[in-house]
Copies of this chain bind each other. A is one copy, B any other.
Amino acid sequence: MSLYSASVPQITKMLQNLDRWLASAEENAKKRSFDPNVLLASRLAPDQYPLVRQVQAACDAAKFAAARLSGKAPPAHPDTEATMDELHARIRAVVEYLGTFTAADFEGAEARDVVLPFMPGKGMKGEDYLTEMALPNFYFHVNMAYAILRHNGVPLGKVDYIGSMKMHDM
């Protein structure tokens, strides 16, 4: 399995799933007659990120995973979103950025030294970075966004979470 196929297509799909959960939240808010943007400040605990920051962090985790494993500089996305529309645009920008990568960009990524800004003087092997940090961190923020929406009554289930899967007849 290449590090590209273990990351970019799946991370892209999960961001697209997240985008749909937000659309479901907007639809649900409309039915329940409240402004969907109030959900952006909702959080599960007072010392945990609210929805808006979970979505921004999921986008950053996705962007940094691809950039660090391929040795490219990621685009900057200031955390200024204040509406569902702006969150959709942020997700769209990262999905487009991920779409610029090919498997060839990830050649040698397994052994590439990945340096994290919050761990000065330390590095991780690309394969370990993907498995131990990039994927669990990405899934963390995607799942916290999902959990906040579920906690607020948005009708979502496992099928919405998993999304499409590549299957064949047996």
Contacts and interface: CB of A to CB of B under 8 A. Distances in A.
Interface string A1-33: 111011001100110000000000000000000
A73 interface: no
A135 interface: yes
Given A122-B167, A139-B136, A168-B123, A150 B115 contact: no
Contact of A167 (B123, B135, B153): B123
Interface string A82-126: 000000000000000000000000000010010100010111110
A162 to B, nearest CB: 6
A169 interface: yes
Scoring A130, A132, A136, A153 by chain B CB atoms within 10 A of each residue's CB, the highest score goes to A136
